[in-house]
Structure 1
Amino acid sequence: MELHVVIKGRKDLVEQLYQQLRTAIESGRLAAGAQLPPSRLLAEQLGVSRKTVSDTYAVLTYEGLLVGKVGRGTFVNAWATRAEQLQRAPDLACADTLAKWQALPFSLGHPDRDNRPRRDFIGGATTRNQFPQDEWRRCTQDALRRIAQSSGFYSQPAGLPALRSAIAGHIAFSRGVKCRDQDIVVTNGAQQALDLIARVALEPGSIVAMEDPGYTPARLIFKAMGATVASVPVDAHGLQVALIPDGTRLIYVTPSHQFPLGMPMSQSRREALLARAVELGAIVIEDDYDSEFRYEGRPTDSLQSMDTQGVVTYVGTFSKTLLPELRLGYAVLPPALFGAVLKAKQLTDQHTSTLPQWALAKFISEGYLLKHIRRCHTVYAGRRERLLARLAGDLAPWFSSVPTVAGFHLATLCKVPIDIALLIKRAHEVDVGLHPLALFFHEVPAQTGLVFGFGAIETLDIDPALDKVRDILLEIG
């Protein structure tokens, strides 16, 4: 690749080259450690003598901006670069808009591996040890062969037909969702599905009703679209439908496994929710994020399967069953939304990468996904039982668990006053990651407690981690 340098005329060639290279280094365009072209090659590129380039390199090396390495070439000195801010945000016409985005709190991100405690009860993450590497590798190799034989054009915005068909069959089998291949749009995780639906359904000032406590990233998406988010409390039966305000355009719920408390929405409450949505002309987003893992009782139908009026959009993800890094999700859309969401998807990123789509399509069709879910179910069930036993045992003086039958996290409530921030800080010091329940409350008064995710922590690490939590609780009273 050629170095971008422009020489004008035939005068002051060394000075011209010197000034351009110095500016490129000091501005950061030539990064620390970047290798410059050999003097002969750059001279040919610019149409100047090799001596002109050599003399310029010599001056910059004398000033410490470049460093020569014997047998390797000439490099930008590591300490020499100085990136300069070209324009400050307050000078921009969009400064107020940028400030609103920057004011949004950070969403629920996962820390990088180097900063994570060894024993971490983080939610929404799976253990890498359970991931079927060999099966996925075979599916990825098949995907590479298919791409090598493809036309080289862009793919379909809605997703590969093979994957849409595989998803339709999987969710009909596992969750009772009623859909055709043509109803599905493949997305970059459930997060993009929520973003696309919000883009086509909301305008500034639109009212969105969602659970409180609830999924913070969804709330931030709706707020970023300029919507007014109405917090609706939940009880033992789920979202309190009677408190959904008039004028609501969009309703976001997690009926199978309320996030983060965990209770399922009762049948009567589901029926009331659908009736209220039809009355308002509102779209319901059913986020079914982890209900494939069920441990007790009879399976509940998806809300989408009860919908006879075409108001429910079913959103799912493979981040919870496979790996979050794969970023593969989907939306099952009613006819009224499909065309608009498809256009928004095409404008946003054209389509989701086809390599993981082909791999996942084969992974599902070959039966690997169901085998993986069954294997993980056994592992998660054991971890859940261990957590519940400890919460009912030596941790019972401090915490009570919220009843839940699905997923791979448990919410707990404090029985006595506890300084949760201090507990989390002290736990982190002994390499245990704890996460506060209060983080997910917004307008409803927050309840004090913890969310124990058991997808990522290894089974043998649970008891040692909880031993340390118990000891800290005894110390801080």
Structure 2
Amino acid sequence: MELHLHISGDTDLSGQVYRGIAAAIAEGRLKHGQQLPPSRLLAEQLGISRKPVSDAYSRLTYDRLVIGRIGKGSFVNSAREPTQVAKTESAIESNSTLNFWRTLETPLRHPMPEGSSKYEFIGGMPAPAHFPHDEWRRCTLYGLRKNNGFLGKYGPTEGVPALREAIARHCGFSRGVRCTSAEIVVTNGAQQAFDLLTRVMVSPGDVVAMEDPGYPMARLLFTGQGAKVVSVGVDKEGIIVDEIPPETKLIYTTPAHQFPLGMPMSQARREKLLAKAHEIGALIIEDDYDSEFRYEGRPTDSLQSMDQHGVVAFVGTFSKVMLPELRLGYVVTPPALVKALLAAKHVFDWHSPAAAQYALAHFIEDGSLLKHIRRGHGIYATRRDELIKHFQGALEPWFRLIPNTAGFHVAAVATRDIDIRLLQKLARRADVGLYALQDFYTERTPQKGLFLGYGAIETLDIGPALMRVRDILQEMS
């Protein structure tokens, strides 16, 4: 890599090199301890003789901006803060659009390790300590070997065939989804699947209907695309279909277990929703975010498996079942949308990393994924039982759990008038991370309560953490 220095003309070459390097150090472009190129190499890169560069290095060393180490080279010697260059803000014509994104709230960000509490009830985070690193490392090496054919090339936009075939078998086995690999588009997580579906289905001003409470990141994405997002209420059976406007183009729902409340959509409500979408010509986005982990009751059909008219796009992700940083998801799309989705992904993203796709395909095909899900199911079931025990015991005077059958979070509704924000603040001081249920509401009157993820907290920590919460509630009372 070349050191960027601008040399003009043939005069004062040594001074120009000196001032260029000194300015780069002052502005922080050259960091303390960073090695400078040898004088001969820098001279060749700049197209000048070696002597001006050597003279500049000598002067930099004399001024203690650079230190020479015998046998190793010349290194930057500046531990001071870089000089900030003031820039004036010009009147950009797109300022209204910029202000929209500048002021946009970005919820559900996971705290960095240094900002986390000892006991974290954050949602959407699987149990990282129980991830099968050895099996995944083996599959990653396999993926790198398989990817040799794509080195230096762009991969297929729809995803590598091996992964699409593996996904078709996996979601058919685990969720009853009826599809072929030709109907699957691999995406960078579920969020990109939502983005692509919105791009091809919605124009600015079109109506998108979604559950309220619901997934904030989906709402923000629809809003960012210029859609008019209409909040639709939920009850114990799921989304209230009669509240969906007739002009709706897109319906976002979480039927396996409603996000964030957790109850599954009833069979009758599913049938009614499918009939409504067919009647008004809307597409349903079925967000099946972590339904692999089911604890009680009979399995429910996916909306996609019940769809007779091509009105459901089934979105799945491996962020919850494996690791968020994997950033691989998929959409099972109605045949009529495949060509448009591929065109959109090609334009906005081109393709997802091929090596990771091959690794995941191998992880699915050799049975490692199902083994990991079974192991995770046992861990999450134990944690869920521990949460239920404490909310039906020590915390019963303050909260009631909403029954749920899947995933790795629960919602607890307050049965007293509790200041949830104050509870969060006091709990954080006690090293317990709590999250408010009201943050998932937009227009509907929010229920006071807590959203409790149990992927990031160890089973043995749940009791001590909730006892701290109980003590805080007693003091607040």
Partner of 2:83: 82
Question: Aligned-pair distance for 1:303?
Answer: 0.6
CA contact (8 A) 2:127 2:455 kept: yes
**Which SS does the other structure have where 2:322 is aligned?**
coil
CA deviations over 1:95-150 (Å, ceiling 9, x no partner)? 22111111110131111222211211111011112111111111111111112355
Question: Aligned-pair distance for 1:27?
Answer: 4.2
Partner of 2:262: 262
Question: Aligned-pair distance for 1:34?
Answer: 3.4
Partner of 1:395: 395
CA deviations over 1:181-217 (Å, ceiling 9, x no partner)? 0000001110111111111111111110000000000
Question: Aligned-pair distance for 1:18?
Answer: 3.4
The CA distance in 2 between the partners of 1:31 and 1:96, in whole Å, is: 37
1:182 has 2:182 as partner: yes
Letter in 1 for 2:38: P
Letter in 1 for 2:98: L
Letter in 1 for 2:334: P
Question: Aligned-pair distance for 1:28?
Answer: 4.1
CA contact (8 A) 1:186 1:352 kept: yes
Partner of 2:280: 280
Question: Aligned-pair distance for 1:445?
Answer: 1.1
The CA distance in 1 between the partners of 2:386 and 2:302, in whole Å, is: 29
Letter in 2 for 1:70: R
**Distance change (3 Å), C-alpha of 1:377 and 1:238:** same
The CA distance in 2 between the partners of 1:336 and 1:166, in whole Å, is: 22
Partner of 2:338: 338
Partner of 2:441: 441
Partner of 1:11: 11
**Distance change (3 Å), C-alpha of 1:287 and 1:153:** same
Letter in 2 for 1:427: A
**Which SS does the other structure have where 1:91 is aligned?**
coil
Partner of 1:70: 69
Letter in 2 for 1:103: T
1:451 has 2:451 as partner: yes
Question: Aligned-pair distance for 1:268?
Answer: 1.3
Partner of 2:289: 289
The CA distance in 2 between the partners of 1:123 and 1:406, in whole Å, is: 13
User: TM-score, structure 1 length as denominator?
Assistant: 0.95
1:465 has 2:459 as partner: no
Question: Aligned-pair distance for 1:413?
Answer: 0.5
The CA distance in 2 between the partners of 1:299 and 1:85, in whole Å, is: 60
Out of 282-291 and 51-60, give the one that drifted further.
51-60
The CA distance in 1 between the partners of 2:161 and 2:86, in whole Å, is: 46
CA contact (8 A) 1:257 1:264 kept: yes
**Distance change (3 Å), C-alpha of 1:213 and 1:21:** same
1:243-258 equivalent positions in 2, closer than 5 A: 243-258=243-258
1:133-152 equivalent positions in 2, closer than 5 A: 133-150=133-150, 152=152
CA RMSD of aligned residues (A): 1.8
Partner of 1:419: 419
CA contact (8 A) 1:32 1:80 kept: no
CA contact (8 A) 1:36 1:74 kept: yes
The CA distance in 2 between the partners of 1:77 and 1:328, in whole Å, is: 42
User: TM-score, structure 2 length as denominator?
Assistant: 0.95
Q: Which runs of 5+ in 2 are unaligned?
A: none
**Which SS does the other structure have where 2:251 is aligned?**
strand
Question: Aligned-pair distance for 1:82?
Answer: 2.4
CA contact (8 A) 2:121 2:453 kept: yes
Letter in 2 for 1:307: D
CA contact (8 A) 1:209 1:250 kept: yes
**Distance change (3 Å), C-alpha of 1:467 and 1:243:** same
Q: Share of identical aligned residues, percent?
A: 56
CA contact (8 A) 1:122 1:456 kept: yes
1:54-453 equivalent positions in 2, closer than 5 A: 54-60=54-60, 66-71=65-70, 72=72, 73-75=74-76, 77-79=78-80, 81-84=82-85, 86=87, 88=89, 90-150=90-150, 152-453=152-453
Count of residue pairs brought into register by the alignment: 475
CA deviations over 1:8-55 (Å, ceiling 9, x no partner)? 332122332234334434444434543322333323433444442244
The CA distance in 2 between the partners of 1:342 and 1:149, in whole Å, is: 22
The CA distance in 2 between the partners of 1:168 and 1:206, in whole Å, is: 32
**Distance change (3 Å), C-alpha of 1:86 and 1:433:** same
Question: Aligned-pair distance for 1:241?
Answer: 0.7
CA deviations over 1:231-253 (Å, ceiling 9, x no partner)? 01111111111011121111000
CA contact (8 A) 2:183 2:334 kept: yes
The CA distance in 2 between the partners of 1:32 and 1:55, in whole Å, is: 21
